[in-house]
Structure 1
Amino acid sequence: MTDPNAELSTQLYLISPLDVSGEFPQRLERALDAVPGLVTAFQFRVKDIDQHEAARLAEPLQEICAAREVAFIVNDSIPLAKRLGADGVHLGQKDGTVEEAREELGRGAQIGVTCHASRHLALEAGEAGADYVAFGAFFPSTTKQSEHRPEPELVEWWTGLIEIPCVAIGGITPENCRPLIEAGADFLAVSGAVWNGDEVASVKAFAEQIAAS
């Protein structure tokens, strides 16, 4: 992921709620426009629907992201990312390999890998050619359950050693994000903290914490 606002030490990686129907496209526009340049990636995360329906739901969201130069990343599914011509894919540990994703999506695709709390998995992902690694969950999350609970020191270790960007994920809110920003996280992956309330106020609150760090 590129950093169009280099002065921002940390940027937001926005993850969709499971329900992206109805008024969600308008909410996404408001969130992305709240602080231009703060959100640099959007992950399309839907479950238990077929590819045709997923593609229908993705289309307006993809257009909104493209108009703002926000990377449109598909969660878990290399085939769906390929069908949509997405900017990239985010892989869990059971969703295929970086090599498979690169072969299907091309050299320009942005490929991220969930690494939980594991230095080993992150180094493996980096060696395989991942464009970013994701550590978490740092805090209890209502979006996705995880038994992994890394400390901010993991982010600090990674960013001090490796140039590949890292994403911090899991229950992150404006109230608890400061240690992750100060540890050097390139991106904060956020979902519930934005979509469970006023998306504009939430994005602005994250921006205030980042600016103050």
Structure 2
Amino acid sequence: MNRPRLFIITPPNMDAETFAPNLEAALSGGDVACVLIYQPDANTKTRQDAAEKLVPIIQAAGAAALIYNDTQVAGRTGADGAHIDTSLDDIKMAVESLQPAKIVGAGGTKLKHEDMETAETGVDYLFIGRLDLEEKEEPHDKTLSKAQWWAELFETPCVALAGSTLDSANAAAATGADFVALKSAIWDHPEGPAAAVASANVILDGHEFQDTE
């Protein structure tokens, strides 16, 4: 698929049992590359319980299931990988323990030299945008400028975090990022998550990568 793919992020305080139907609906709406099970404040047991419930749903739809900041849960639950944004040392440890069998993504960087150091660890993707910041309708300007810089110069794939509206995927995709991440724009869509994913894919279809050969 020669255009950006969709990377969706679960609500941070979701209950896995009640959230599962919404996730299934989202994944029925069209192409989704990855789902990040994002529980920043959860303990290990809560993360594991959620992963055991949600990972099979994600994988059955052909998407990659990623666990936030927990390589052990990623390993124990058969998830496809982990997303680490705590420190460079933690990213290095995740790469050593999970690759090549599983995906390791990384983010949380603030400075460009940190992005380059992170990529040098061998991660599978660099996530550009701060998951812990309050969502705005449009992507943060720094996210857009950094994603464009990265996409133009580096081989490691990048994910650009969009805003709280579906239309914000346009700006994120225009950077040339390999993936566009959406959070509440999927789960709060008035027509439901399946319609949100379908609409997001229509937007991404309009951003084919330029053939560089």
- State whether TM-score is above 0.5: yes
User: Helix, strand or coil: the match of 1:74?
Assistant: strand
Tell me if the contact between 1:132 and 1:165 (Cα under 8 Å) persists in the aligned partners.
yes
Match for residue 206 of structure 1?
Answer: 200
Aligned to 1:135: 128
Cα shift readout 1:49-70 (whole Å, capped 9, x = no counterpart) = 4323322222121111121221
Identity between Structure 1 and Structure 2 (%): 27
Provide Cα deviations, 1:132-170, integer angstroms capped at 9, x if missing partner. Answer: 0011149x7349xxxx85152322221121111101125
SS of the aligned residue for 1:73 comes to strand
Name whichever of 120-129 and 100-109 sits farther off: 100-109
Partner of 1:68: 61
C-alpha distance in 1 between matches for 2:114 and 2:42: 29
| 2:175 is the counterpart of 1:183 | yes
Q: Give deviations 1:65-117, integer Å, cap 9, x for gaps.
A: 12122111011122222222321111114385332112322422211111445
Pick 1 or 2: higher relative contact order, CA cutoff 8 A, min separation 6: 2
Q: Could you list the per-position Cα deviations for residues 168-191 of structure 1 after superposition, in whole angstroms to 9, with x for gaps in the alignment?
A: 125253222212212101111111
Name the residue aligned to 1:34.
29
**C-alpha separation between the residues in 2 aligned to 1:153 and 1:47?**
26
Does residue 99 in structure 1 map to residue 92 in structure 2?
yes
Q: Which residue of the partner structure matches residue 82 of structure 2?
A: 89
CA spacing shift, 1:75–1:149, aligned 2, 3 Å? farther
Rounded Cα–Cα distance in structure 1 between residues aligned with 2:119 and 2:127:
11
RMSD: 2.4
String of CA shifts for 1:11-57, please: whole Å, max 9, x gaps.
Answer: 1111111213333111111111101xx21101111244432332222
Aligned-partner Cα distance in 1 for 2:88–2:44: 16
Alignment check: 8 A CA contact 2:85 2:91 kept = no
| Per-residue deviation, 1:207 | 1.4
Equivalenced residue count is: 200
TM-score (norm 1): 0.83
What secondary structure is seen at the aligned counterpart in 2 of 1:12? strand
User: Alignment partner for residue 109 of structure 1, among 81, 87, 102?
Assistant: 102
The residue type equivalent to 2:149 in the other structure is: W
Asked if 1:122 corresponds to 2:147, the answer is: no
16, 19, 41: which is aligned to 1:21?
16
Residue aligning to 1:160: 152
CA distance in 2, matches of 1:180, 1:167: 9
CA distance in 1 between partners of 2:27 and 2:7 (Å): 11
Would you say the 8 A contact 1:76–1:95 is kept in 2? no
* Distance in 1 of aligned mates of 2:197 and 2:72: 31
5+ unaligned residues in a row in structure 2: which ranges?
208-213
Q: Secondary structure at the match of 1:102?
A: helix
